[in-house]
Amino acid sequence: MDVIIDPIAFLGDRWFLGKIYFYIEPGEYFHIPLTNFAGWIFVAAVTLTCFSALNSWIDRKTPVRTKQIPGQALLGPGLYFGVLAFNLGVTFYIGEFLLGVSGIIISLGIFALVFFKVQKLKTAT
């Protein structure tokens, strides 16, 4: 999602966000340097590693399983696609069609993964 959010946030002076940051040198991806994405990959890896370790520890300490909420697995993707829709809307609103189309293409792959996972769960039950 960062491949859409960061370029749009960088162009915040063209919508209500305003100019909140800048890069000294123009970046390779819609003015965003690739090191920005490397940083987000690092942060994501550390966060997932810590969360997985904490989750495993909690599972070992808690013998009773908590009740699952119907559709709970869709809360994360729902939030993701909600934020994505907002950012794509802003992208097209400010006239950044190339960024919008590239964001849609990238997002279609992620959407396909979620869609096929849900379909697989439906056929398993």
Residue 14 domain flag:
yes
pLDDT digits (tens, 9 = 90+) for 27-36: 998 889 999 9
The domain containing residue 114 runs over which residues?
Answer: 2-32+67-124
Residue 51 domain flag:
no
pLDDT digits (tens, 9 = 90+) for 80-120: 889 999 999 999 999 999 999 999 998 898 889 878 888 88
Domain tally, the chain: 1
State the DSSP code for 33. Answer: -
Residue 24 domain flag:
yes
